[in-house]
Amino acid sequence: MFKGSIVALITPFKNNMMDEDKYVSLIHHHITNGTKGVVPAGTTGESPTLSNDEHKRVIEIAVKECKGKIPVIAGTGSNSTDEAVNLSRYAEKAGADAILVVTPYYNKPTQEGLYQHYKLINDNVGIPIIIYNIPPRSVIDMSVDTMARLFELKNIVGVKDATADLDRVNKQMKKMGPEFIQLSGEDATALDFNMRGGTGCISVTANVAAKLCSDFQEASLAKNNNNLLSKAKEINKKLMPLHKALFIESNPSPVKYAASLLNLSSEDVRLPLVKITENTKKEVQKALKFANLL
């Protein structure tokens, strides 16, 4: 159900307010360019600085525009379990197809705390839950054993893995089997991730390279077709400078600048994020040109 190129949607701003027109336009850009799902209100969507009403609004709009076309995996994570439960219930009521729940940041819960956090969310919704494991941002790393315990619950279906440890794909496959959905959270390693048993990527780069990312994922998932695998490698090489350039400074500042060059969004971000430096702008421009996007 959840595979291929899934975009971690940016949230366009104008004068520090959400730009709904650009947001709707961006969603339709993905629908028409082969993106297989959208994630509103994730980290790339600047969820930490969205108000509660804005958080709900970006989910509502995504559901309305994507209904019957591509899945919506709503970002509903929080370091407050109660808030995560409330956002998750809201996303389900709004019509989201699934929710993406990041491991609680700052609190540094134990593995048992992680289990209980996700279990309570699981017990309060009836739609699929994807664990978002991203130690670089949340400090904690959910163990494979904890993930396996959670997979026994009715709604836990997979993981967005941003550990940057490709061996985790093999370990998680061995422990949970192929039914456990494994989505990469790292564009630069998505090819190897899929080769090891992954089924797609929740992508930052897809914001500005929707068709290329979609074509890449489709080709890389056709593991027994040498021609398509060669195509995946070719596209991956084309996108690699962009994957790297978009993380020279804190995400999503670089990708928002790239989106502004393609008239997909303004480059505006909310404090404490700031617009990227001139040197980084040059690298982003160079990477877009290398990918024939600019």
Q: What are phi and psi of 146, to 5 degrees?
A: -65, -40
pLDDT at 47: 97
DSSP 205: G
Asked if residue 145 has pLDDT above 90, the reply is yes
What is the CATH topology of the domain spanning 4-225? TIM Barrel (3.20.20)
Distance from C-alpha of 268 to C-alpha of 262, rounded to nearest angstrom: 14
Own/partner contacts of 215-221, CB < 8 Å, gap of 24 or more, are: 215/34, 216/5, 216/190, 216/191, 217/3, 217/4, 217/5, 217/36, 217/190, 218/4, 218/5, 218/34, 220/190, 220/191, 220/194, 220/195, 221/3, 221/4, 221/194
d(CA 186, CA 225): 24
Catalytic residues: 132, 160
Using a pLDDT cut of 90, give the percent of the chain over it: 97
Model pTM above 0.95: yes
Q: End-to-end CA distance of the chain, in Å?
A: 33
Query: Tell me, what's the pLDDT at 111?
Result: 98
pLDDT tens-digit readout, 252-263: 999 999 999 999
Flag whether pLDDT at 119 surpasses 80.
yes
Res 226: pLDDT: 85
Q: What is the pLDDT of residues 189-242, one digit of tens each?
A: 999 999 999 999 999 999 999 999 999 999 999 977 888 999 999 999 999 999
C-alpha triplet 27, 30, 32: angle, nearest 5°? 110
- Residue-level pLDDT at 1: 80
Contact 166, 196 (CB under 8 A): yes
Element (H, E) at 137: helix 135-138
pLDDT of residue 218: 97
pLDDT at 224: 79
Of 65, 75, 63, 92, nearest in space to 39 by CA = 75
